[in-house]
Chains A and B, each alone.
Chain A
Amino acid sequence: MGERGEEWEAVMLRKAEEEESKAVKKVKLVTSDGVTMEVEISTVKEMETIQAFMNATDTDNSIIFPLPKVSSHILSRIMELMSGEYDQELVKRLSHEELKEICMVANYLNMKTLLHLTASAIANLIQNKSVEFVRHFFNIINDFTPEEEVQLRKTHEWAFEGVDED
């Protein structure tokens, strides 16, 4: 009985601490365009890169985390996706630029669910599309010489027919 009671007490204590820290700790994210966004600590849980930083810096005060590679527009899109529980429909509404940027940010902040979701959305977009479409999509400049390109096309000729319209 005694042991049980102690255990119970410990759990309650931990809960109270958590509540308290929730109330105190806020995370301020500063975007590349200088906008400061204050978010709940629970929101940051999924951002493993920030989480790791917070675990390392044991502070009671609010944390300011600069995101020099993330614009406020993209960050608010990410917040929308998170609060919408990563609805596929929301992902479909993103522009190609937004999708790519969010994928990169998800990778940078190590957000697993978002990364998986955006990566498969990109795969869906480029599936069975022409080489030109993929280059355009990723803003990639073709660095093959015309001769190399002809040679490659010839080697893999069987794979190039019947692509979808761009």
Chain B
Amino acid sequence: MDDHLSSTPKNAIGLCLLPQELIQNIFLSLVLPEIVRLKLVNKSFSRIISDHTFVRQCNTLSTSTTWLFVYKKRWLRDAVLHAFTDRSSDRWFRIPIADLLKPVHFHGEDLYFLAASNNVFLFASNTVREVVAVNLVSVTVKKIPPSPLGPRGTSSWRRSGMKLVTEPSGSGHFRFMFAEFVGNHPVLFVYDSRTDTWKSTEAVESSASELSPRGGGHVFLNVVHGPSESVLVASTPECDAAVVLRPRFNYARGVGGNLSVGFSWGNVIDRLHVYGDGYMMIVKSEGDRVTGEGGVRVLKGVELWGLSLDGRKWEFVSTVGGVIEKPYAAMMGCLEEKNGIVMAALVSNCGGVWDMMWLSFDTKWMQWTWMPLPDCKMKGWNMAGISFSSGLTLP
């Protein structure tokens, strides 16, 4: 008679007595892949996670969470995205995408990871020279028609010259923009997933009165960089107008201190420039490429520069206090600004061993934080793209 009652574990009853809000609060301390996974526990958990109020709370938290995605591969079939967030800072999440990419039939072709925003990830193929958009949460893949410049190989895409912006409504629609010189003039190209078309706008030279403050919602796309001048295209998020900015760079005037002595662009002091969202990070290293041990250099310092308000010069923002010394053979990085926080990831390789560091700078409090990222088990693999992104969201 009481059979089914006594076979129910006593804490299952107990747990049901916990109010939904409490269970939801427990879930809200987790990050999205973990929450999604809990849908499978049982029907009641699934219902709790699908609850509208919970989805809204969860997505609000999630959109202010920053993720770093690294695409690594040996072959297409084992391609995997690694995801890291500072909200769960001791691990990398593995996101398999080989199966997701199956419908677009790349025939075992190599893909390169271009950009990410919200649930949308863009990949470029080298031989077919196409771009595909993958939506992780709606589980859809879509080919983007060639831009007005025609099909592009992976090497044509420059990280600092493109930007993916998803609609905040959660519709999954997005705009993908990039800037490029066409016949000696910077042009802004924008793809809108709503119309599935590209639009090109020739950028106009900025007038003296025009202000495009960095961190103010403008999109800044880098076109070229010379040692003393850069060319950028600034646009409103709606992409209705594009302006050319030509900020000048005077390193000697910008910073005092011993590292700015002279213009040693040679092998004494190396500078790696990482650009994004109207900022420029200068990573300074010392070492000798030729005589050093296997070409090992040592990272010596990191500076952050930003576009001036009128876009006419790069101005010094801050330098990382303290010492980050790190030997490396090759280094690359990516940089993004969001809600007043500048985030940069520096990826270095030393003797086949990958090493990653996450730096962030709070522009309001002028404060740096940085941390080494846990091992991503990259040894023997290739890195095929890196990007920051705002958090994934529940549908």
- Which residues of A are at the interface with B, using a C-beta cutoff of 8 A? 97, 100-101, 103-104, 107-108, 115, 119-120, 122-124, 126-128, 130-131, 134-135, 138-144, 149, 152-153, 155-164
Q: Specify the chain A residue showing the minimal Cβ separation from B37.
A: A159
* B93 with A119: CB separation less than 8 A: no
Q: Is the interface of A mostly helix, strand, loop or mixed?
A: helix
* B15 with A161: CB separation less than 8 A: no
Q: Nearest-CB distance from B326 to chain A (Å)?
A: 27
Q: Specify the chain B residue showing the minimal Cβ separation from A108.
A: B17
Q: Nearest-CB distance from A66 to chain B (Å)?
A: 17
* A143 with B12: CB separation less than 8 A: no
Q: Can you show 25 pairs from A to B with CB atoms below 8 A apart?
A: A100-B15, A101-B14, A103-B22, A107-B19, A119-B29, A126-B38, A127-B29, A127-B88, A134-B41, A135-B41, A138-B12, A139-B9, A144-B40, A152-B39, A156-B39, A156-B40, A157-B99, A157-B100, A158-B33, A158-B96, A158-B100, A158-B139, A159-B33, A161-B96, A162-B92
* A127 with B30: CB separation less than 8 A: yes
Question: Given the known A-B contacts A119-B25, A120-B29, A159-B33, are A104 and B99 also in contact in the complex, defined by CB atoms under 8 Å?
Answer: no
Q: Nearest-CB distance from A80 to chain B (Å)?
A: 21
- Which residues of B are at the interface with A, using a C-beta cutoff of 8 A? 8-12, 14-15, 17-19, 22, 25-27, 29-34, 36-43, 45-46, 80, 88, 91-97, 99-100, 136, 139
Q: Nearest-CB distance from A69 to chain B (Å)?
A: 9
Q: Nearest-CB distance from A119 to chain B (Å)?
A: 5
Q: How many angstroms from the CA of A73 to the CA of B97 in the assembled complex?
A: 49
* A123 with B136: CB separation less than 8 A: no
Chain B residues within 8 Å of A143, by CB = 42-43
* A115 with B22: CB separation less than 8 A: yes
Chain B residues within 8 Å of A153, by CB = 40
Q: How many angstroms from the CA of A126 to the CA of B93 in the assembled complex?
A: 15
* B18 with A103: CB separation less than 8 A: yes
With a 10 A CB-CB cut-off, give which of B19, B30, B33, B92 has the most chain A CB atoms.
Answer: B33
Q: Nearest-CB distance from A87 to chain B (Å)?
A: 20
Partner of B11, one of A119, A120, A138: A138
Question: Given the known A-B contacts A119-B22, A156-B37, are A144 and B136 also in contact in the complex, defined by CB atoms under 8 Å?
Answer: no
* A123 with B94: CB separation less than 8 A: no
Q: How many angstroms from the CA of A108 to the CA of B22 in the assembled complex?
A: 11
Q: Specify the chain A residue showing the minimal Cβ separation from B99.
A: A157
